[in-house]
């Protein structure tokens, strides 16, 4: 059997990260989480920002390199709602330096240092390589290290490859990213390196988890300090689900298949809006639809129009009571996104650049027509209603209903 140099390099990197004494596999551990308060006075033009991110996904560039020169065991750790994404606390190095990192299924590099500078400790080892990653509305550049990474509750990774930012933009209020997308997205991000094993890759290769599976539970809340989710490595937390988990294979359609891409049909009431491929992404806030599908959704809501300031779809008060269910059919299973689900919590209106007493939809324009190979993004406001599973072992994505559905 002949292996490509890329595959050989990837497995060599995995083996290099395996400790001589692998950590004992652990059972499921559930850890509560709390919301992070955004910086005072911050305004996010959400409709516009999500479209910038989406454009990079459609082009196949999001989370990729620029020019870098030189019944399984499971454990759940905490994730925090920062209003426009989710974050978790990660400790790095023997000094236990802690970073607040965005949880991103749309990228795969893990890096720190945007807000809090990385301080090498006795477990740190410089690889001598540089790292550069573009995220559409932001990017970072820095130096690559290997170090001990502690995700909490005994999920400790030795020799994890991490980036230490020397410059970054677009990451105000957080320290970096924990990338849990497909590992191929790390290609060409680190000099002299083909593919960088993700934190999930290393948890599996070091024997800490039995399956390369991530279960995500996000619970909607607007109260700072409320428990609102968990991230489970190695399996799923069925105590958070109210149905069986239904799995679908990663789509074969490009560029969606480079990410956690699925095929789905979306209908508003009895009107089908689209049937195509797109992605599931924790780093996107809204539910984004291809422009023609979004236009059909907007046309079905009398008097609705896009607010130029926020980029969000404003719904007349008179039309709120007649909103119909937005149905997501994934692998033959229907996931109902109710009228209430479609409305942004009014307490967040001004944070997202809107008017305090207006009604806004969380469904927005992707910014490109259908037929591009990535025609929707199910962002975290969708994932707050449904439990999601990202299964690298079986190359599939799963969903289940929760008490929030």
Domains in the chain: boundaries: 5-233, 241-401
Q: Where is pLDDT greater, at 373 or 285? A: 373
Give the number of other Cβ atoms within 10 Å of residue 352's Cβ.
Answer: 24
HSE value, Cβ hemisphere, 13 Å, CA-based, for 138: 17
pLDDT in tens, 81-93: 665 678 888 999 9
Q: How many helices (H) and strands (E) does the chain have?
A: 7, 25
pLDDT band at 47 (very low <50, low <70, confident <90, very high): low
Q: Where is pLDDT greater, at 102 or 391? A: 391
Q: Where is pLDDT greater, at 63 or 127? A: 127
Name the percent of the chain lying above pLDDT 70.
81
For residue 148, give the nearest of 92, 110, 211, 193 by alpha carbon.
Answer: 92
Does residue 292 surpass a pLDDT of 60? yes
For residue 212, give the nearest of 256, 173, 181, 174 by alpha carbon.
Answer: 181
Contact (Cβ atoms closer than 8 angstroms) between residue 350 and residue 36: no
Task: Indicate if 241-401 has the same CATH topology as 5-233.
Answer: yes
For residue 146, give the nearest of 92, 192, 91 by alpha carbon.
Answer: 92
* Range name among 63-72, 241-250, 341-350 with the lowest pLDDT average: 63-72
User: Would you please indicate which residues are annotated as catalytic (active-site) residues?
Assistant: 104, 281
Q: How far apart are CA 122 and CA 211, in angstroms?
A: 30
Q: Measure Cα distances from 327 to 202, 279, 295, 332, 338 in Å.
A: 37, 16, 17, 12, 8
Q: In sequence order, what are the beta bridge partners of 263?
A: 277
* Range name among 233-237, 319-323, 350-354 with the lowest pLDDT average: 350-354
Contact (Cβ atoms closer than 8 angstroms) between residue 212 and residue 25: no
The per-residue pLDDT for 82 is 62
Q: Where is pLDDT greater, at 165 or 229? A: 165
Contact (Cβ atoms closer than 8 angstroms) between residue 111 and residue 134: no
Quick one: how far is CA 86 from the chain centroid? Answer: 8
Instruction: Provide Rg for the chain, Cα atoms.
Output: 20
The per-residue pLDDT for 342 is 97
Contact (Cβ atoms closer than 8 angstroms) between residue 363 and residue 299: no
Q: Where is pLDDT greater, at 246 or 96? A: 246
Contact (Cβ atoms closer than 8 angstroms) between residue 101 and residue 85: no
Name the CATH topology of 5-233: Cathepsin D, subunit A; domain 1 (2.40.70)
Strand pairing of 326-330 and 333-337?
antiparallel
HSE value, Cβ hemisphere, 13 Å, CA-based, for 103: 33
Does residue 402 surpass a pLDDT of 80? yes
Q: How far apart are CA 135 and CA 170, in angstroms?
A: 9
SS3 275: strand
Does residue 263 surpass a pLDDT of 90? yes
Contact (Cβ atoms closer than 8 angstroms) between residue 182 and residue 259: yes
Give the number of other Cβ atoms within 10 Å of residue 225's Cβ.
Answer: 10
For residue 151, give the nearest of 231, 214, 216, 62 by alpha carbon.
Answer: 231
CATH among 3.30.450.90, 2.40.30.20, 2.40.70.10, 3.40.50.970 for 241-401: 2.40.70.10
| 187-199: average pLDDT | 94
The per-residue pLDDT for 6 is 39
* Range name among 45-54, 128-137, 163-172, 319-328 with the lowest pLDDT average: 45-54
pLDDT band at 30 (very low <50, low <70, confident <90, very high): very low
Q: How far apart are CA 255 and CA 278, in angstroms?
A: 9
Q: Measure Cα distances from 236 to 25, 233, 357, 385 in Å.
A: 15, 8, 39, 16
* Range name among 42-46, 56-60, 250-254 with the lowest pLDDT average: 42-46
| Identity of the highest mean pLDDT range in 33-37, 49-53, 340-344 | 340-344
Average model confidence (pLDDT) for the chain? 84
| 275-298: average pLDDT | 95
Quick one: how far is CA 82 from the chain centroid? Answer: 13
| Identity of the highest mean pLDDT range in 14-18, 19-23, 85-89 | 85-89
Q: How far apart are CA 361 and CA 170, in angstroms?
A: 25
The per-residue pLDDT for 40 is 44
The per-residue pLDDT for 74 is 72
The per-residue pLDDT for 113 is 97
Does residue 378 surpass a pLDDT of 90? yes
Q: Where is pLDDT greater, at 130 or 285? A: 130
At which residue do the structure tokens 């009014």 appear?
A: 346
Residue 183: both structure tokens together:
């590992």
pLDDT in tens, 111-123: 999 999 999 999 9
Does residue 323 surpass a pLDDT of 90? yes
Does residue 227 surpass a pLDDT of 70? no
Name the percent of the chain lying above pLDDT 90.
62
Buried b / exposed e over 309-340, threshold 16 CB at 10 Å, is ebbbbbbeeeeeeebebbbbebeebebebeee
The per-residue pLDDT for 24 is 42
Does residue 343 surpass a pLDDT of 60? yes
Does residue 42 surpass a pLDDT of 60? no
């Amino acid at each position: 059997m002949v292996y490509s140099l890329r595959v050989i390099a990837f497995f060599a990197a995995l083996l290099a990260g395996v400790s001589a004494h692998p950590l004992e596999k652990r059972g499921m551990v559930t850890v509560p989480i709390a919301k992070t308060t955004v910086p005072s006075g911050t305004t996010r033009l959400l409709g516009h920002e999500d479209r910038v991110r989406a454009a990079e996904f459609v082009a196949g560039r999001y989370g990729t390199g620029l020019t870098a020169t030189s019944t399984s065991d499971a454990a759940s750790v905490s994730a925090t709602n920062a209003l426009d994404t989710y974050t978790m606390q990660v400790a790095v190095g023997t000094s236990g330096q802690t970073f607040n990192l965005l949880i991103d299924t749309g990228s795969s590099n893990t890096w720190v240092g945007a807000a809090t500078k990385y301080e090498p400790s006795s477990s740190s080892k410089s690889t001598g390589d540089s790292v550069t990653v573009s995220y559409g509305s932001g990017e970072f550049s820095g130096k690559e290290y290997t170090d001990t990474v502690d995700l909490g509750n005994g999920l400790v990774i030795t020799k994890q490859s991490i980036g230490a930012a020397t410059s970054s933009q677009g990451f105000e209020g957080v320290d970096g990213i924990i990338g849990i997308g497909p590992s191929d997205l790390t290609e060409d991000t680190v000099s002299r390196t083909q593919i960088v094993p993700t934190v999930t890759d290393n948890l599996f290769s070091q024997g800490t988890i039995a399956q390369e599976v991530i279960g995500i539970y996000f619970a909607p809340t607007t109260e700072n300090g409320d428990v609102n989710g968990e991230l489970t490595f190695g399996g799923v937390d069925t105590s958070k689900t109210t149905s069986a988990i239904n799995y679908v294979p990663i789509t074969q359609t490009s560029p969606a298949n480079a990410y956690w891409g699925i095929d789905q049909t979306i209908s508003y009431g009895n009107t089908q809006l689209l049937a195509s491929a797109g992605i599931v992404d924790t780093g996107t806030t809204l539910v984004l639809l291809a422009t023609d599908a979004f236009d059909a959704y907007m046309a079905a809501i009398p008097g609705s129009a896009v607010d130029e300031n926020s980029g969000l779809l404003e719904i007349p008060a008179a039309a709120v009571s007649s909103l119909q269910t937005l149905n997501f059919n994934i692998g033959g299973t229907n996931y109902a996104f109710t009228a209430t689900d479609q409305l942004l919590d009014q307490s967040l209106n001004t944070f997202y650049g809107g008017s305090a007493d207006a009604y806004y939809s969380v469904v927005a324009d992707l910014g490109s027509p259908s037929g591009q190979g990535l025609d929707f993004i199910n962002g975290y406001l969708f994932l707050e209603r449904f439990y999601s599973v990202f299964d690298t072992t079986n190359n599939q994505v799963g969903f289940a209903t929760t008490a929030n559905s």
